[in-house]
Amino acid sequence: MLWFIGLGISGIDGISSNTLKIIKKADVIFLENFTSPIGKQEVSKIEKLVRRKFKIAPRWMVEDGKTILLEAKRKTVVLLSYGDPYVATTHIELRTRAETEKIGTRTIHGASAITSLVGECGLHHYKIGRPVTIMREISSLTTVYYTIYENLIRDSHSILILEYNSDTNFFLGPKEAFSNLLLTEGSQKRNVINESIFAMVASRIGTKNQSIIAGKLSSLMDADFGKPPHTIIIPGKLHFTEDDAIKTLAKCLDDPSDNSSKIQKISQQMLLKYLPKARKALEEVQRQFKDNKDVQPIIENAHLYLDDAEKFQKEGKDELAVLSVGYAEGLIDALRLSKGIDPWAQSL
Amino acid sequence: MLWFIGLGISGIDGISSNTLKIIKKADVIFLENFTSPIGKQEVSKIEKLVRRKFKIAPRWMVEDGKTILLEAKRKTVVLLSYGDPYVATTHIELRTRAETEKIGTRTIHGASAITSLVGECGLHHYKIGRPVTIMREISSLTTVYYTIYENLIRDSHSILILEYNSDTNFFLGPKEAFSNLLLTEGSQKRNVINESIFAMVASRIGTKNQSIIAGKLSSLMDADFGKPPHTIIIPGKLHFTEDDAIKTLAKCLDDPSDNSSKIQKISQQMLLKYLPKARKALEEVQRQFKDNKDVQPIIENAHLYLDDAEKFQKEGKDELAVLSVGYAEGLIDALRLSKGIDPWAQSL
């Protein structure tokens, strides 16, 4: 029998007597501390309470799994972890392998750090986009950058989990993460990250000295976040109750601001550029061809398609809007080309 | 003082003695049961254990907040809720108001049903896209439909929370939700939902009789999910360890399959439709105008822009590809219109 037990985020205070009983009775107790750090003091408090010693299970042991599964075949084994056990994909894999080998598994879920910090930051859960981990290597930031971009486009908040390595006790700091994001903006140039975007740093969530500091990147670069662990949130569009909550629950170095409103979809950027240009070109062409009856259907259609493009844009049908503006430009430029006018020498 | 206490998802077994102590000592204890249902038996078990009676706090009372805040000004008040307290946005609002009115707040986080069920289903947390709630009104399904679409495009999993109304004890059933999604496909036609997509229904997560049933929509329409609450998951691209986990942890009526691979971005759908049509139209126009020297630059440009469209598509620059194919079509149709040919009577 293999128990997966999540200890939650509040140490001894968050563990039920039922859970303590299960730990006490187990034959072997492993403590996994590589997905999230658990304070040594908290661990020895729990050990004292259940009068047992925990074996540390490093990453290789959980990934390899053999030792734990071998024990669990004949004995009752408990694998303890911080937060909720299955937030770590390694634990789901171990459970799958156990079940495949006919070893029974049981689970006690715990409060997860990620889930808890969303609420502590005053943010709405249904607005959380796909989360992403920032590693220290700059090359890993491209995925992070586009995840933030995609989330912002959809008005969603981005949770950026910072690299933690239990072997070397390495925690990626928020400031290094911000610097690397700014460097990535320099190479990707989609106007996603700059010094004035609003971000939040949630530190030590669930402990007595948790802190949430929020502000523009430029302000956060000078802030002191204290000891790790830290998590960064880049909020998207803020509901007014989220705005109120952030001001009340976080230490705000700057007022919250809407990062999503500053970002534009690539298609929106194109429409903003091409729609007015096409309107202007159409006016010119209309003057040039006003005496040519044969081409009036072409001009009429160009008008209709530009109107359609605007309508589609308003309805959020960006792809159709782009197709329509392209089509209208094609109609217009065919007329210009037929008169020997080079459309690319002009404004278009 | 106002305590926000999450009871987790496992009833009495998941509540720590520290939490029980806080409840026992409180002057007033409210139980909120409108965001998620809590079994009456579980509630009376907790009441017996702490030897206190809970006041039910319906939605209006938490939203209005006055009664609770008035009590909390002079007394120690506890607001209990299922799962984690701040998954409900109403609770974050109440906390913000309390802090604004100088009422101290404290929090005990609990295991959240949504967070727990992701792991129970064997899915990776970092692949969860924006969650969304399905209401019974068919009109509410459009947002749900496009949320699933956006998540699938990004290989993300969609969590569909089903409407629950505590006043009328109404739970939206998974089958009604599936039917409504299929109806929405009928009107939106983006090939997101059909009877062969793979979905999962997680029921009563955290209780002793939890179940996870997975399969094609057509199979799930005939399944018996038992009593509510239920949550639907539409997985996106599955990692092979997720595939293994689903087969092991869920009752699979069909093998898991990759829903993301079957879906196409709207821009891709458009290019697939319009590129070959434009090529064909261009060939026709080329024949019709082969003796007209003046229009050769138009034909040449149409060729160049269709080549560009294909190149942009390969590079993943979908917006530019759509703009280019639209432009080429405009050039082609201008020629047709000038000859009095109605382009829309043709294949285009």
pLDDT in tens, B324-347: 999 999 999 999 998 888 887 654
Q: What is the pLDDT of residue A189?
A: 85
How far does the CA of residue A51 sit from the closest CA of chain B (Å)?
A: 17
Contact A327 B338 (CB under 8 A): no
Contact B100 A248 (CB under 8 A): yes
Q: What is the pLDDT of residues A256-283, one digit of tens each?
A: 999 998 888 888 889 999 999 999 999 9
Q: What is the pLDDT of residue B346?
A: 53
Q: How many CB atoms lie within 10 A of CB B226?
A: 13
For residue A238, the chain B residues in CB contact (below 8 A) are none
* Residue whose C-alpha is closest to residue B146's, from B125, B129, B162: B129
Superfamily classification of domain A115-262? Tetrapyrrole methylase, C-terminal domain (3.30.950.10)
Per run of 10 residues, the mean pLDDT along chain B (length 348 residues) is 95 92 97 87 93 95 97 98 94 97 97 96 96 94 94 96 93 97 93 96 94 98 96 97 97 97 88 94 94 93 96 88 96 91 65
How far does the CA of residue B222 sit from the closest CA of chain A (Å)?
A: 27
Q: Which two tokens stand for residue A82?
A: 């911080």
Kindly identify which residue of chain A lies nearest to residue B293, measuring between CA atoms: A338
Q: Which of A15, A122, A298 is closest, CB to CB, to B337?
A: A298
Class for the domain spanning A2-111: alpha beta
Residues 6+ apart with CB under 8 A from B263: B149, B152, B153, B191, B192
Is residue A344's pLDDT more than 90?
Answer: no
Q: Which of A10, A270, A295 is closest, CB to CB, to B323?
A: A270
Contact B131 A126 (CB under 8 A): yes
Exposed, middle or buried: residue A208 (CB in 10 Å: 0-12, 13-18, 19+)?
Answer: exposed
Q: How many CB atoms lie within 10 A of CB A192?
A: 23
Contact B333 A245 (CB under 8 A): no
CB B158 within 8 A of CB B132: yes
Q: How far apart are the first and last CA of chain A?
A: 71
Q: Which two tokens stand for residue B3?
A: 């305590």
How far does the CA of residue B195 sit from the closest CA of chain A (Å)?
A: 26
Q: How many CB atoms lie within 10 A of CB B258?
A: 15
Which helix (H) or strand (E) element contains residue A29?
Answer: strand A28-32
Q: What is the pLDDT of residue B347?
A: 46
* Domain definitions of chain B by residue range: 2-111, 115-262, 266-345
Q: What is the pLDDT of residue B201?
A: 98
- Chain A contact probe: residue of B120, B188, B212, B327 with most A CBs at under 10 A: B327
Kindly identify which residue of chain B lies nearest to residue A334, measuring between CA atoms: B331
Give dist(CA B268, CA B272) in Å, integer. Answer: 6
Residues 6+ apart with CB under 8 A from A80: A5, A7, A23, A29, A30, A31, A32, A54
Phi first, then psi: give them for residue B170, nearest 5 degrees. Answer: -95, 130
Instruction: Give the CA count within 13 Å in the CB-facing half-sphere of A145.
Output: 22
* Residue whose C-alpha is closest to residue A125's, from B36, B133, B60, B137: B133
Average pLDDT of chain B to the nearest whole number: 94
Phi first, then psi: give them for residue B126, nearest 5 degrees. Answer: -75, 0
Is residue A110's pLDDT more than 60?
Answer: yes
CB B328 within 8 A of CB B278: yes
Whether the bond into B229 is cis, omega within 30 of 0: yes
For residue B322, the chain A residues in CB contact (below 8 A) are 319, 322-323, 326
Contact B87 A270 (CB under 8 A): no
For residue B99, the chain A residues in CB contact (below 8 A) are 248-249
Kindly identify which residue of chain B lies nearest to residue A266, measuring between CA atoms: B319
Give dist(CA B71, CA B28) in Å, integer. Answer: 8
Phi first, then psi: give them for residue A188, nearest 5 degrees. Answer: -95, -35
Q: What is the pLDDT of residue A346?
A: 52
The domain A266-345: what is its CATH number? Answer: 1.20.1270.90
Q: Which of A111, A245, A337 is closest, CB to CB, to B111?
A: A111
Give dist(CA B156, CA A132) in Å, integer. Answer: 12
Q: Which of A14, A324, A335 is closest, CB to CB, to B16?
A: A14
DSSP H helices in chain A? 17-25, 40-50, 59-64, 66-74, 89-100, 113-120, 141-153, 174-188, 217-220, 240-249, 266-288, 296-314, 318-338
Contact B115 A109 (CB under 8 A): yes
How far does the CA of residue B304 sit from the closest CA of chain A (Å)?
A: 12
Q: What is the DSSP string of B156-183?
A: -BEEEEEPEETTTTEE--HHHHHHHHHH
Q: Comparing A35-39, A232-236, B65-69, B286-290, which segment has the lowest mean pLDDT?
A: A35-39
Average pLDDT of chain A to the nearest whole number: 94
Contact A333 B301 (CB under 8 A): yes
Q: What is the pLDDT of residue A192?
A: 93
Q: What is the pLDDT of residue A33?
A: 87
Coil, helix or strand at residue A257: coil
For residue B328, the chain A residues in CB contact (below 8 A) are 330
Place of tokens 């010693």: A53
